[in-house]
């Protein structure tokens, strides 16, 4: 594990935008011992970046440090009373874990079927979709502290989850490498079909008493209809978060824009649909050079083939400016920019 033994690596196939960028050094982590070796050789004292499936990153330049590619595999579970604890290694593909749970009839992950990426990244931004969020099923994770060289455990409250956010994006940004995650699922948990088009799609299929498999299949179907497939069109899902504004700002916006799409969070805050804001600014389906705003979902920026990370970033900046000019609302990027 000496300095000179770590190779450079093209990252083009390791990020779903398909952006060409070169890593100065690259290591694939298939077992935890490699992390201890890297620590012993002081690799974590220099620049490094932890990469899972690369589905929420945008490389705007070559990476001058070490890319630590998480690829450890394994899944197991044990049942205790009415709960099942499912543990998966960080390098497992998230959607494989979803289907592992469905095959064992463990409810809780089905609404998050087909989210790209790995188990290890799932707590980082508290992934969520179709009425479910990771924070509702996350029990704990085992992580390697790159500062002390020790393995530590984070409980659910330790992670300080909120919408598309956790402690790993703030105070602990870049410090801990998640090695495995344990999810706590209710064996007889309720099925949730209330979000978006799930119910309508189930009815269309003549399903009135859906199983978790039915829900996962319908969610996967809706996602494929709406979102571009990264294996053919480079993208990282929603490029921006849905902005959260206070009630006063919301009431003022609602007066000016009665059709504004929003979700009530609590007495003080409203979440706005960023896709709607972007569409209203005329961006849906628009192309700038090699960058396009997805025709079915304005929150998604796509690489038409030869875009650079900088071109995508620049388009995103223009969108941020336009939305601010039209609505006085600041859009925050969801994608991690490197
Ligand atoms: P990467 O992109 O590799 O990394 C993302 C961040 O996590 C980086 O900061 C990285 O350093 C960090 N990280 C990764 N692995 C580890 C680890 N083991 N330890 C510590 N840090 C780590 N997200 C949603 O929440 N909901 C959706 O519905 C959704 N839909 C999407 C649809 C499409 C088509 C695409 C392309 C993306 C979508 N995303 C969605 C975003 C993405 O799938 C998630 O953010 C996912 O969790 C990223 O996983 P990854 O393994 O690819 O992480
Ligand atoms: N909308 C528009 N125009 C658009 C897109 C959306 O008007 O171009 C409006 C519509 O009214 C639509 C509403 O916004 O009904 C909500 O759209 P959608 O159901 O597609 O959800 P979203 O809020 O745009 C979020 C997540 C997605 C997640 C879906 C489903 C964020 C930033 N995005 O999108 O997550 O899959 O909900 O739960 O919260 C991701 O994070 O990468 C991602 C894809």
Rounded CA-CA distance 299/242 in Å is 9
Single pTM value for the model:
0.97
Ligand nearest to the CA of 227: 1
The token pair at 324 is 């601010």
Cβ neighbour number for residue 180 with a 10 Å cutoff:
23
Contacts 24+ apart (CB under 8 A), 224-229: 224/114, 225/296, 226/296, 226/297, 227/294, 227/296, 227/297, 227/300, 228/294, 228/300, 228/302
Which residue has the CA at smallest separation from atom 46 of ligand 1? Answer: 117
Q: Measured in whole angstroms, how far is the alpha carbon of residue 287 from the centre of its chain?
A: 24
Q: Which residues line ligand 2 (CB under 6 A)?
A: 129-130, 196, 226, 237-238, 241-242, 261, 273, 275-276, 279, 284, 297-299, 334
Domains detected in the chain: 9-70 (3.30.43.10), 75-186 (3.30.465.10), 234-337 (3.90.78.10)
Rounded to whole angstroms, the Cα distance separating 64 from 26 reads: 10
Cβ atoms of residues 98 and 109 within 8 Å: yes
Q: What is the DSSP letter of 120?
A: T
pLDDT at 2: 54
Q: What is the pLDDT of residue 107?
A: 97
Nearest CA to ligand 2 atom 5: 275
d(CA 112, CA 114): 6
Note if 45 is an active site residue: no
Put the strands of the sheet holding 300-303 in their side by side order.
234-238, 300-303, 291-293, 287-288
Report the distance separating Cα 288 and Cα 293, nearest Å.
9
Query: Which one of the listed residues 142, 164, 201, 270 is annotated catalytic?
Result: 164
How many angstroms is it from 121 CA to the middle of ligand 1? 5
- pLDDT for 16 equals 98
Q: Is 205 annotated in the active site?
A: no
Q: One of 89, 217, 270, 334 is an active-site residue; which one?
A: 334
Q: Return the pLDDT at 4.
A: 55
Q: CA 220 → CA 60, 121, 132, 175, 198, distances in Å?
A: 30, 20, 14, 33, 10
Distances (CA, A) of 96 to 51, 106, 108, 130: 18, 13, 14, 18
SS3 (DSSP) at 310: helix
Q: Of the listed 140, 180, 238, 316, which one is catalytic?
A: 238
In the residue annotation, 55 being an active-site residue is answered as no
pLDDT tens digits for the chain (338 residues)?
A: 655 589 999 999 999 999 999 999 999 999 999 999 999 999 999 999 999 999 999 999 999 999 999 999 999 999 999 999 999 999 999 999 999 999 999 999 999 999 999 999 999 999 999 999 999 999 999 999 999 999 999 999 999 999 999 999 999 999 999 999 999 999 988 899 999 899 999 999 999 999 999 999 999 999 999 999 999 999 999 999 999 999 999 999 999 999 999 999 999 999 999 999 999 999 999 999 999 999 999 999 999 999 999 999 999 999 999 999 999 999 999 999 99
* 56 CA closest ligand 1 atom index: 2
The C-alpha angle with vertex 98 and arms to 51 and 336, in degrees rounded to 5, equals 25
The secondary structure element, H or E, covering residue 15 is: none
- Give the three-class secondary structure for 269: strand
Best CA proximity match to 121, nearest among 160, 77, 83, 89 = 89
* Residue closest to 320 by CA, chosen among 338, 296, 301: 301
Strand ranges, E, within the chain = 9-10, 22-29, 48-51, 57-58, 63-70, 75-80, 83-89, 128-129, 132-133, 138-145, 151-155, 176-186, 234-238, 244-246, 262-264, 269-272, 287-288, 291-293, 300-303, 336-337
Residue 80 CB contacts under 8 Å (≥ 6 apart), including other chains: none
125 ligand 1 Cβ < 6 A: yes
Q: What distance in Å separates the CA atoms of residue 33 and residue 13, rounded to the nearest whole number?
A: 25
Summary count for the chain: helices (H), strands (E): 7, 20
Looking at residue 5, what is its pLDDT?
83
Task: Give the pLDDT score at 3.
Answer: 54
Give me the DSSP letters along 171-190: TTTTTEEEEEEEEEEETTPP
- CA 225, 230, 234, 238 torsion: positive or negative? positive
């Amino acid at each position: 594990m000496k300095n000179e033994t770590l190779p450079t690596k093209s990252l083009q196939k390791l990020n779903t935008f398909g952006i060409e960028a070169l890593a100065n050094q690259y290591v694939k982590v298939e077992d935890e011992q490699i992390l201890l070796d890297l620590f012993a050789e002081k690799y974590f004292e220099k620049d490094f970046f932890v990469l899972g499936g690369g589905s929420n990153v945008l490389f705007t330049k070559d990476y001058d440090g070490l890319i630590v590619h998480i690829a450890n595999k394994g899944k197991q579970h044990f049942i205790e009373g009415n709960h099942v604890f499912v543990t998966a290694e960080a390098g497992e593909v998230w959607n494989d874990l979803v289907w592992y749970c469905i095959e064992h009839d463990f409810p809780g992950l089905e609404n998050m079927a087909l989210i790209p990426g790995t188990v290890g990244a799932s707590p980082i931004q508290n992934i969520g979709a179709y009425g479910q969020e990771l924070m509702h099923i996350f029990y704990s994770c085992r992580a390697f502290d790159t500062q002390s060289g020790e393995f530590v455990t984070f409980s659910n409250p330790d992670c300080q989850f909120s919408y598309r956010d956790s402690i790993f994006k703030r105070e602990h940004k870049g410090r801990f490498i998640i090695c495995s995650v344990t999810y706590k699922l209710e064996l007889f948990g309720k099925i949730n079909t209330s979000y978006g088009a799930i119910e309508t799609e189930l009815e269309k299929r003549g399903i009135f008493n859906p199983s978790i498999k039915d829900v996962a299949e319908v969610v996967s179907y809706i996602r494929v209809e709406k979102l571009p497939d990264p294996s053919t069109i480079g993208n990282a899902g929603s490029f921006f978060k849905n902005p959260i504004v206070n009630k006063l700002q919301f009431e003022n916006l609602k007066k000016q824009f009665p059709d504004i799409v929003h979700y009530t969070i609590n007495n003080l805050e409203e979440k706005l649909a960023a896709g709607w804001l972007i569409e209203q600014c005329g961006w849906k389906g628009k192309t700038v050079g090699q960058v396009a705003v997805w025709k079915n979902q304005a929150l998604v920026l796509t690489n038409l083939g030869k875009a650079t990370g900088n071109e995508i970033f620049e388009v995103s900046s223009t969108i941020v400016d336009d939305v601010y000019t039209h609505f006085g609302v600041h859009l925050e990027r969801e994608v991690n920019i490197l």
